[in-house]
Structures are given as structure tokens and as C-alpha cells.
Amino acid sequence: MKMLITGGAGFIGSNFIFYERERQPETEIICVDKLTYAGNMETLAPVLDQPRFKFVRADIADRKAMDELFAAEKPDVVVNFAAESHVDRSIEDPSIFLQTNVMGTQVLLDASRRYGVARYHQVSTDEVYGDLPLDRPDLFFTEKTPLRTSSPYSASKAGADLLCNAYQRTYGMPITISRCSNNYGPYQFPEKLIPLMIANALADKPLPVYGQGINVRDWLYVEDHCAAIDLILEKGRVGEVYNIGGHNEKRNIDIVKRVLGILGKPESLITYVTDRKGHDMRYAIDPTFIHDELGWLPATKFEDGIEKTVRWYLENKPWWEKIVSGEYRDYYERMYGKR
Ligand code: NAD
Ligand code: TYD
């Protein structure tokens, strides 16, 4: 079996590659990644020299490159993780989000159709459902919740999902979609909440909490997301959308305090800053469908997952310190300098 994994040098894609390597060592993996600011070859070091693994640096929106790659490799399965993924960046400049997340998906769908892949899986997000009010804890996102996006990021992901639906219906392509809640774990780029707070706390720098810190996210350990995708590839039904989440809602401020607690750093580092524009209030997944259909349940409790994650960042300082000292710093200045 040959699996083409896009965006595999990023956070979830790399974790998925490691997961598949363990679970199905016979699978041939081709990782395609453009290596944007978020892609890091160092992350893939453990698998780079392995047999049945190949890395190709390419842009999923480059039609010629994808056509040549599909013609040469003829993958059986395509799993599309490649995306611009950070909401704050999408607010600064939406165009690359549309280019990669929408046009890139179209290019991959066309190539998958042309070369007859047996399964195309689109890795999407719960953010396509917009947000839920804080005062309605009885409400959750189900697969039937209408798409109602808030940020250019979520709009681009919803656009890609709709294209997948269209290609499935129009051309009868074997497509599945998964929509997961916020992930955390090893190799997450330190611009996202949890790794940013760990990195800042370790450097005794202020921890920038947007608004009042009362926005709620539904956190899932990255390996549980990988397990769900693996299960969808194995047993999922073509044409279905699967929501992935483990009923683990937390307010941002509580996440930040937990990180400080684990690191033994003072809460005085917390700094409230101007809120994100259009900031979604609450995400919360109803995972009944994937549980009933595929038997998926998260394996990692938040308390264990967050401790493991903080420990990983402590033990892998060179990985993220290089990032923090590079291009990321310019972005950081632009994003937080005037806040
Ligand atoms: P990430 O930003 O860490 O990684 C994205 C990867 O895609 C990087 O390696 C980058 O170099 C690559 N990439 C970007 N543009 C590309 C292009 N045009 N061609 C080829 N490669 C390109 O993102 P992530 O957090 O790992 O997210 C992966 C996927 O999961 C995304 O589709 C995202 O929307 C989705 N998702 C993420 C979360 C989360 O909490 N992080 C939750 C649900 C869904
Ligand atoms: P983030 O990790 O960017 O994920 P998403 O916006 O896709 O959910 O942010 C998670 C939450 O943390 C979100 O409500 C915004 C908030 N946040 C902060 O308060 N401060 C920060 O510096 C960042 C990056 C995020």
C-alpha cells in the first residue's frame, strides 16, 4: 500500500507519519511538503532514512508538480494535512490560505481523480462550524451542524470541504473528511497557544492571553487524532464526514494556568492583550458518530497529555528554540509588538 501524506513536515502530519510507521510498517509513505515557515525537516529525521519512506518538497497547489508526482508514484491513498493553519496569520493576510487550502485541495482532488486513488482523505477542522455561545453548554457540533465560518482560515477550510463533497457527488470519488477539535502534543509550532505558552514561560516572558481568556477550546492529544484518521482510512464510509473530539473543553486561561503550574512558574507572567478579531467563543465536538460507527474513543486523558507535552518541550528545546530564534521572531513582533 502506498500512502501520499501532504503537510507531513508539520505538527499533525508528522505525528501521523510516526503513527503509521509504528502501526503499519509495510506501508510505503510519500510525504509531500512545501516546507513553509511551519514545515520542519528536522521533525522527520527519525524516518528520513528508513526504507519505504520518501520526502518530496513540493507545493500541493502546483498542478504540474502534483501531476508528475501522481504519475510517477500512483498512490493508493492520499491524506491531505497540508494547509496554512494559523488563524491569526489568516487575519493578517488571507490570500495564501485560499491558495493552499482551497486551490491546493482542488489540485490534489484532480490528481487523485485522474490517477484513480482508492481513497482521498481531507483533514479538516471543527472551526468550519463557527462557534458556540458560552452560555449554552448543552450545544455541540455534530456532522449536521451547518458550516458558518468566522475567520479566513476556517472559511478556506470550509471551501476545501465543500469541494470534497462536490467531487465525491459529481465524480463519485472515494472521499472522506474528518473535522477535529484543537490538537496538542509534540512538534506543534510555537505560535499556537500551548507551545507558545510553554516557550514563553520557560523564558520568563509574558504569556499573552487574548481578551479575558474565557474562550473555550476542546483539546485532543494529537495521537488520538492520528488514531481516528487511521480508523477512518481503514473502516470509514466514503462520502461521510467524521467529527473527532474527546469532550475536553477548557477555557484558555485555565490551560495557561495549568502550563504555568506544571513548569512551576508564577501566574504573574500572564498578560491580557487585545482580543483576536472575530474571536470564536467556544468549540465543542459531539463525537457520537465516530464512536458508534468506528468505535473510536480518545486514549489520552488531558491531565496525562498536557504533562507529556510539557515534558516533550522541556526535553526537545533545540527543536523549538531554533524556530523561536528565526523568522518566527519577525512575525511575533508584528503580531504582539503593538498589542
Ligand atoms: P501545521 O501548520 O503545523 O503544518 C502544516 C504543514 O503543511 C507544514 O509542514 C507546511 O510546510 C505544509 N504546507 C503548507 N502549505 C503547503 C503547500 N502549499 N504545499 C505543501 N505543503 C504545505 O499544521 P497542523 O496543525 O499540523 O495542521 C494539519 C492539518 O490539520 C491542517 O489541514 C489543519 O487545518 C488541520 N487541523 C489542525 C488542527 C490543530 O489543532 N492544529 C485541528 C484540526 C484540524
Ligand atoms: P490557537 O492555538 O491559535 O488555535 P485556534 O485559534 O485555532 O483555536 O488558539 C487557541 C486559543 O488560544 C484561541 O482561543 C486563541 C487563544 N490564544 C491566546 O489567548 N493567546 C495566544 O497567544 C494565542 C496564539 C492564542
Instruction: Please classify residue 21 by burial: count the beta carbons closer than 10 Å to its beta carbon, then call 0-12 exposed, 13-18 middle and 19+ buried.
Output: middle
Ligand index nearest the alpha carbon of residue 55: 1
Q: Is domain 2-183+222-247+280-301+328-336 given the CATH code 2.30.180.10 in the classification?
A: no
pLDDT over 70 (residue 332): no
Q: Which residue has the CA at smallest separation from atom 14 of ligand 2?
A: 215
Residue spans per domain, the chain? 2-183+222-247+280-301+328-336
DSSP state of 100: I
Q: Is the minimum distance from the CB of 157 to ligand 2 under 6 angstroms?
A: no
pLDDT of residue 324: 84
Q: Which amino acid is it at 296?
A: W
Residues 150-209 pLDDT 10s: 999 999 999 999 999 999 999 999 999 999 999 999 999 999 999 999 999 999 999 999
DSSP state of 101: I
Q: Would you please indicate which residues are annotated as catalytic (active-site) residues? A: 126-127, 153
Q: Is the minimum distance from the CB of 309 to ligand 1 under 6 angstroms?
A: no
Q: Which amino acid is it at 278?
A: G
User: Would you place residue 236 in the very low, low, confident or very high pLDDT band (cuts 50, 70, 90)?
Assistant: very high
pLDDT of residue 338: 73
Q: Which atom of ligand 2 is nearest to the CA of 252?
A: 12
User: Would you place residue 67 in the very low, low, confident or very high pLDDT band (cuts 50, 70, 90)?
Assistant: very high
Q: Which residue has the CA at smallest separation from atom 21 of ligand 2?
A: 193
Residues 273-320 pLDDT 10s: 999 999 999 999 999 999 999 999 999 999 999 999 999 999 999 999
Q: Is the minimum distance from the CB of 252 to ligand 2 under 6 angstroms?
A: yes
Q: Which residue has the CA at smallest separation from atom 1 of ligand 1?
A: 10
Is residue 56 classed as helix, strand or coil in its secondary structure? strand
HSE on the CB side for 310, CA within 13 Å? Answer: 21
CA 136 to centroid of ligand 1, rounded, Å = 30
Q: Work out the percent of the chain whose per-residue pLDDT is above 90.
A: 94
**Does residue 34 contact residue 60 with C-beta atoms inside 8 Å?**
yes
pLDDT of residue 335: 67
Positive or negative: CA dihedral 274, 280, 282, 287: negative
Q: What is the pTM of this model?
A: 0.97
Q: Is the minimum distance from the CB of 193 to ligand 2 under 6 angstroms?
A: yes
User: Would you place residue 58 in the very low, low, confident or very high pLDDT band (cuts 50, 70, 90)?
Assistant: very high
CA 38 to centroid of ligand 1, rounded, Å = 8
pLDDT of residue 330: 63
Task: Give, in order, the Cα–Cα distances in Å from 323 to each of 8, 57, 183, 252, 253.
Answer: 17, 19, 19, 23, 25
Continuous segment of H or E residues that includes residue 333? helix 327-336
pLDDT of residue 2: 98
pLDDT of residue 337: 73
User: Would you place residue 327 in the very low, low, confident or very high pLDDT band (cuts 50, 70, 90)?
Assistant: low
Q: Which atom of ligand 1 is nearest to the CA of 86?
A: 2
Q: Is the minimum distance from the CB of 101 to ligand 1 under 6 angstroms?
A: no
